[in-house]
Amino acid sequence: MFPIILDVKILKIVLAGNGKATLRRLELLDEAGAQHVKVFADRPIPELATQAGARLRNMLPKEQDFTGIHLAMLADFDEKQTAELAAFARNKGVLVNAEDKAPWCDYHVPAIIRRGDLLLTVSTGGGSPRLARRLRIWLSTLFGEEWGDRLKTISTARKKWKAEGNDFKQLAEKTDALLAEKGWLDELEQERKTS
């Protein structure tokens, strides 16, 4: 696997499924700012129908529904249905993620910790979603909500330093100095030692 963070605001995405796993994926896409999501569900749970709103198509996708799509996410299906939908998507050159069905996954959705623009992820390549979840929980105790504001502080300073003409090496040095001054990484080290 190759780790990559995608800007889903610009991607066309098909999400197909009827249950809680599909709902969770839609919530993740919405949190990430996805703008072009088509949700296909022939028997959606009420919460999924509500979250999807006008994006919901009350049917399962056909092969032509994957035309022009970048990513497909499939959840809450048995092996046979997953294989059929994944084949439709792949025939159209679409990357597929199928919940807990590794043979049909071209990419994996990692466990996510979001603190403003700070995004921490944990992936096991599908080998142990439970381990990824446990590590996410542990990391979320280390990186509290305050890290969103801390990143804003660093980002604002970096933009200023960049406008002043500092090169990449100088930007790195100034960032390290700011982190040392604030003591934020020292706090993490102390927390790690006591946990």
* Pair of tokens at residue 43: 């028997």
Quick one: tokens of 143? 């990186």
Q: Return the domain boundaries, the chain.
A: 8-108, 146-194
Residue 88's pLDDT band (boundaries 50, 70, 90)?
very high
191 pLDDT above the threshold of 80: no
Residues 149-170 have a mean pLDDT of 97
Beta strands of 41-110 (E only): which ranges? 56-57, 71-74, 95-98
Q: What is the mean pLDDT of residues 57-76?
A: 98
Domain at 8-108: CATH code: 3.40.50.720
Pairwise CA distance, residues 25 & 74, whole Å = 9
Rounded mean pLDDT, 122-146? 91
Number of CB atoms found within 10 A of residue 132's CB: 21
The answer, as to whether pTM is greater than 0.75, is yes
Rg (CA), the chain: 20
Question: Is pLDDT above 80 for 193?
Answer: no
CA dihedral 79, 73, 29, 111 (to 10 degrees): 60
Q: How far apart are CA 67 and CA 86, in angstroms?
A: 13
pLDDT at residue 127 tops 90? no
Q: What is the mean pLDDT of the chain?
A: 95
- Kind of pairing, strands 118-122 and 111-115? antiparallel
At 103-122, the pLDDT tens digits run 999 998 888 999 999 999 99
Distance CA 184, CA 99 (A): 36
* Stretch among 44-53, 76-85, 95-104, 152-161 having the lowest mean pLDDT: 95-104
What integer pLDDT is reported at residue 126 of this predicted model?
A: 80
| The pLDDT of residue 195 | 66
The yes-or-no verdict on residue 100 having pLDDT over 90 is no
Secondary structure (DSSP) of 43-67:
S--HHHHHHHGGGEESSPPPGGGGT
The SS3 call for residue 119 is strand
Q: What is the pLDDT of residues 1-35, one digit of tens each?
A: 788 889 999 999 999 999 999 999 999 999 999 99
pLDDT (0 to 100) of residue 1: 76
